[in-house]
Structure 1
Amino acid sequence: MFLLGAKVDLTIASWHWFLLLGLLGSLLLIDILVVHRTAHVVKPKEAAIETVVWVVIGLLFGAWIAYEFGKHAAGEYIGGYLIEESLSIDNVFVWAVLFSHFKVPSQYQHRVLFWGIFGAFIMRLGFIFAGVAIIDTFKISLIVFGLFLAYTGVQLLRSGDDEFDPQNSKVLKAFNRVIPSTDVLDGQKLFTVVNAKRVATPLLAVLVMVELSDIIFAIDSVPAVLSVTSEQYIAFASNAFAIMGLRALYFLVAGMRDRFQYLQTGLGIILVFVGAKMVYSYWHHLSIALSLSVIVVVLAGSVAASIRWGAPPANEDTPKH
């Protein structure tokens, strides 16, 4: 296997995959059947606690990787985790726009995100295996992926704070033409019966758009993660544990976009960096320690700059979803 970092191939046994998938499945079941068994509004305190819990779980799995595969593999896992978590922030804000557009009450939003994350697992697994296979077969694809990431980063730096508008989405327009739907919610149901006909509720339309947004963001984030590791197991694990906590993170920061005005700049710089790193890895290798340092410094710096120099939000009231 062609490697993006100076390391040896890992020996991944079948039980490693069963352990990872079993753990993820168990955590999802606990989340949906115990923690969020009944629909309720997720308050900031609850979201903060859940966010910390998911981060701790992700770090504990990283500690297990260090024990099982060594510190270098753990460094790649942490690098992939940080990249996925940071690049997913924009996805969180897109979710906020979608829920606001469809007027989905807060107590029903978690259920939509649960199924959205479940679908994201399947798509990311396919994207990662395909990406690694392409890199293994065509070494030149490192340069192609790297230039694409750098270009995306530059576009992000130039575009400013453009907001996603669901009303202009061709996918949503096609959905409304193809699938009979209603504008009326029926609790957490994706389908309901109106005039003896089975129709989709707005929650299904939101779910479709959530999955679409994940596909779009995965086009950037998966190659970015593959810039720090070429092991499918490490790449998928870092992606999975990062996106597991996105639901809690959404309820914590969705209404705070205006407070992090320099975050977009930070994400653009990170994409340019990992793109340049990927191109450079065609000839030489950058250490995982350097990659982690750059990502952490840029991400922390963009948040600190937003707090220190960002203009105050136009509306201090907490948005209602």
Structure 2
Amino acid sequence: MTVSPLVWVLTLLAIVGLLLFDYFFHVRSAHVPTLREAAVWSALYVGIAVLFGLGTLIVGGGAMGSEYFAGYVTEKALSVDNLFVFLIIMTSFRVPRENQQKVLLVGIVVSLFARSAFIFVGSALLNTFSWVFYLFGLALLLTAGNMLRPETEESHSAQNLVVRLARRVFRTTDEYAGDRLTTVVDGRRMLTPMLLVMVAIGGTDLMFALDSIPAIFGLTQNVYVVFTATAFSLLGLRQLFFLLDGLLDRLIYLSFGLAAILAFIGAKLILHALHENNLPFVNGGDPVDVLEISTGFSLLVILVVLLLTIFASLFSTRGRTQTAMAHIRRDATAYLDPEYTDDPAERERIFQRLLRARDHITTLGPKAKQQVRNEADLMALCRQVANAHTTAHPTHEIHPNL
């Protein structure tokens, strides 16, 4: 189906309008979003994406609609996995909780521009050179293999090349100045960590785009579908971050599920490349008669794999234990950092979450205890937070084991 320029313009205006609405009505005034706020707006953005998909299904037909939903679900799942890295980056940079929304929104906008560029370049390459399907397929298979490696907080670093270069070339401060990108110290204009963390997230997302764009091209070559599925998967990602806060560490098998999905799409791309083959050293330059995987079947595989890995993660004792360890480390650091937040409710929330994480670890059986690393250090962090909480709230009763 050919999409008219008018439809493109209206779609772009709608996406820009949603981003502007998000900024002026939610992000411009720094605050910590409540769980209810995050849930309502996450559901709204998913609802908008689904309604758009239904419109695509009605106007564009079953094939186009299936391609959109397959692409949207895949990109959304990859975005959720990326949120874990964003969480680590913001923790490393000690981003105040009230300012995390702005960082995420800037990251989404940068991502949308970067992925749009990759989409149009990728489409031009695929239309000109059919052998590019082989490259995309091999790239996804390699990415799938890399995702099988265990990832923890220690396996990621916010200090990427761009950030290190910025720190070396420009004068930067160690402290934040609200949500400002620059500040004046001793009469000199300097960058704040706010700008550096935006650079870190933007640079990291460029790497994510190299995986996600070939993945969606493995499901559809319709540029309009690729663009809209990618854009709607990014919209609402900020709200989803705060909604899933506390569950991100628990999705321990999500990377395995995504690896399986990317490997499946990579194989699908290679089969399609064989079907369109014109390389002289493959079958004499003639197309190879191989089975092509339908988009409908691809959507079914993606949904089944995601549901299995998500439920396996949520009901896993290992997942709950890993989550508890991560919560103690991050929540203790945040609670003891006076610049983390000025919101008493947010400080109480992370304190109560730390208590629940501590209780989970202390009640583990002998076999499950083997999964806990540095238990003595974790409990020491808990006691340190307890002392700080008692000082701030002398009338509150603290659990005796803490």
The interval holding the TM-score normalised by the smaller chain is over 0.9
Structure with more relative contact order (C-alpha pairs < 8 Å, separation 6 or more): 1
CA–CA distance in structure 2, aligned partners of residues 28 and 291 of structure 1: 30
Say which of 147, 153, 159 aligns to 1:156: 147
**1: CA distance between counterparts of 2:162 and 2:29?**
31
Contact 2:254–2:306 (CA under 8 A) maintained in structure 1? yes
User: Which of 192, 197, 220 is residue 188 of structure 2 equivalent to?
Assistant: 197
Post-superposition Cα deviations, 1:15-51, rounded to whole Å, max 9, x if no partner, equal: 1111111001111111111233411002222212221
Q: CA deviation at 1:310?
A: 4.1
Q: Percent identity?
A: 36
State yes or no: 1:120 paired with 2:127.
no
Q: Does 1:280 align with 2:271?
A: yes
Contact kept, 8 Å, 1:262 with 1:310, in 2: the verdict is: no
Q: Which has the larger radius of gyration?
A: 2
TM-score, length basis structure 2: 0.74
Paired AA for residue 289 in structure 1 = G
Q: TM-score, normalization: structure 1? A: 0.92
CA–CA distance in 1 between the matches of 2:233 and 2:241? Answer: 13
Q: Is 1:25 paired with 2:32? A: no
Deviates more, 1:185-194 or 1:250-259: 250-259
Q: Distance in 2 between matches of 1:258 and 1:100?
A: 13
Q: Which amino acid in 1 is paired with 2:208? A: F
The more displaced of 188-197 and 207-216 is 188-197
- Which of 42, 47, 50 lines up with 1:56 in the alignment? 47
Are 2:219 and 1:212 equivalent residues in the alignment? Answer: no
Aligned CA distance change for structure 1 residues 124 and 235 (closer, same or farther; 3 Å)? same
- Specify every segment of 5 or more residues in structure 1 that has no aligned partner in the other structure, as ranges: 1-9
Residue 193 of structure 1 aligns to a residue whose secondary structure is strand
Deviations 1:159-180 (A, max 9, x none): 1124343355222211101122
Shift of 1:59: 0.7
Q: What do you get for the CA RMSD once the two structures are aligned?
A: 1.7
The 5-angstrom pairing of residues 221-260 of structure 1 reads 221-260=212-251
Instruction: Verify: 1:290 aligned to 2:281, yes or no.
Output: no
CA distance in 1, matches of 2:23, 2:15: 12
The Cα of 1:142 is off from its aligned counterpart by: 0.7
Distance 1:167 1:84, change over 3 A: closer
Amino acid at match of 2:174: D
Residue 302 in structure 1 maps to residue 293 in structure 2: no
List 4+ stretches of structure 1 deviating above 6 A. Answer: none
Kept in 2: contact 1:79–1:228 (CA 8 A): yes
Question: Residues 64-103 of structure 1, C-alpha deviation per residue, up to 9 Å, x if partnerless?
Answer: 2223322211111111111111111221011111111111
Identify the residue that residue 131 of structure 2 maps to in structure 1: 140
1:166 is paired with a residue whose SS is coil
Q: Is the 8 A contact 1:259 1:310 kept in 2?
A: no
C-alpha distance after superposition, 1:273-320 (max 9, x if no partner): 111111111225311110000100001100111122341223466845
Alignment map for 1:86-105 (pairs within 5 Å): 86-105=77-96
Distance 1:310 1:224 in 2: 31
Residue pair 1:145, 1:275 contacting (<8 A) in 2 also:
yes
Higher alpha-carbon deviation: 60-69 or 122-131: 60-69
Rounded Cα–Cα distance in structure 1 between residues aligned with 2:158 and 2:248: 20
Which residue identity does 2:139 align to in structure 1?
A: F
Pair 1:76-2:83 in alignment: no
Post-superposition Cα deviations, 1:124-175, rounded to whole Å, max 9, x if no partner, equal 1110011111111111111111011012102211x11243433552222111
Cα separation, 2, equivalents of 1:212 and 1:13? 33
Return 203-212 or 39-48, whichever deviates more.
39-48
Work out the CA distance in 1 between the residues paired with 2:171 and 2:224.
40
Letter in 1 for 2:262: L
Describe the SS at the equivalent of 2:315: helix
Letter in 2 for 1:123: A
Tell me what 2:33 maps to.
42
Pairwise CA distance, 1:211: 0.6
Contact 2:71 2:229 in 1 (8 A): yes
What is the alpha-carbon distance in structure 1 between the residues aligned to residue 158 and residue 257 of structure 2? 28
- Tell me what 1:106 maps to: 97
State whether residues 170 and 191 of structure 2, in contact with CA within 8 Å, keep that contact through their aligned partners in structure 1. Answer: yes
Partner of 1:192: helix, strand, or coil? Answer: strand
Kindly provide the amino acid, as one letter, of the partner of residue 160 in structure 1.
P
Count of residue pairs the alignment pairs up: 311
Please tell me the residue identity of whatever aligns with 1:165. H
